Structure 1
Amino acid sequence: MKPIIPILLTTTLLAGCKAQPVATTSEVTGIACAPGGAANFAPDCGLDRMPTARGTVLVLRHPDGGFRRLLASKDGLVAADGAEPAKVTKLDKGMIEVALGTNRYRLPATLGARP
């Protein structure tokens, strides 16, 4: 007969570790990016948007599982993680290029704008 207490304890601990849902308003794939200093852009990144009291947090997901976070507010677009500042450059046709360290992303200029 196998002891039942370790199984019950494991089940109880796992039930207590349930992740709280995050209010993600959208998930977009096919974002043009050049992560890690890549020479060329490719539509390989994903994007999640999460509204907060300070603005919209944009989570840019890399194909290798890495990610970077930006905060889009009425004051502009800034890095929401780490000490590296976000450098934003306007491109043609309503697009911007955002550089965070060695990572670069091309995004619609209106992404994350607050009403």
Structure 2
Amino acid sequence: MSTPISKYAAVTLLLASLAGCGRDGSVPIAQAEKDAGDQAARDGKIVCALAGSDTFERTCTTEQITGPDSKMLVIRHADGGFRRFTILTDGRGLAPADGFDETRIRVLGANRIELSSGDDKYRLPAQIKGQGNAGEKGASKDAG
């Protein structure tokens, strides 16, 4: 019986120590989470909400493919599905490379966008020109 109590004590101690992070001048928890998310995005891992879900999880991966005339962004789902987008150089962002789903881009804040295509949503790091355009941009399959 003492073993379960000591496990609970260890978990409680761990949670208490994590709760105190950031209060002594170290990196705050929110900043540490943001930094971890940024590093994961640099490693090709992004958060996504698939099939109409509103729950974002870091289960999608990205890769860029450079062709002779363009660059493509491929977003892969954990279940094997994927979406391909053409990276546009005219300031519009991305356009679907195949399929008929409408694609929308919403600026979430400094250097972050939410890309919606069909029932799937992806949150990506982005270089946003003229930060003043924080509205939504639409891109159809014909845009590009």
Give the alignment's Cα RMSD to 1 decimal. Answer: 1.9
In structure 2, how many angstroms separate the alpha carbons of the residues matched to 1:55 and 1:71? 7
Between Structure 1 and Structure 2, which shows a larger proportion of strand residues? 1
Q: Per chain length, whose mean CA-contact separation is higher, i.e. which structure has more relative contact order (CA < 8 Å, sep 6+)?
A: 1
Please say which structure displays the higher CA radius of gyration.
Answer: 2
Alpha-carbon deviations, 1:17-45, whole Å to 9, x = none? xxxxxxxxxx9442110011112111110
1:64 & 1:55 partners in 2: Cα distance? 27
Tell me which residue corresponds to 1:41. 56
TM-score, scaled to structure 2 = 0.54
Output aligned runs, 1:90-109, within 5 Å.
90-109=107-126
Number of residue-to-residue matches in the alignment: 85
Moved over 4 A (4+): none
Counterpart CA distance in 1 for 2:117 and 2:70 is 19
- Unaligned ranges ≥5, structure 2: 1-41, 128-144
Question: Unaligned 5+ residue runs, structure 1?
Answer: 1-26, 111-115
How is 1:73-84 mapped onto 2 (pairs within 5 angstroms)? 73-75=88-90, 76=92, 77-84=94-101
The residue correspondences of 1:2-13 to structure 2 (distance < 5 A) are none
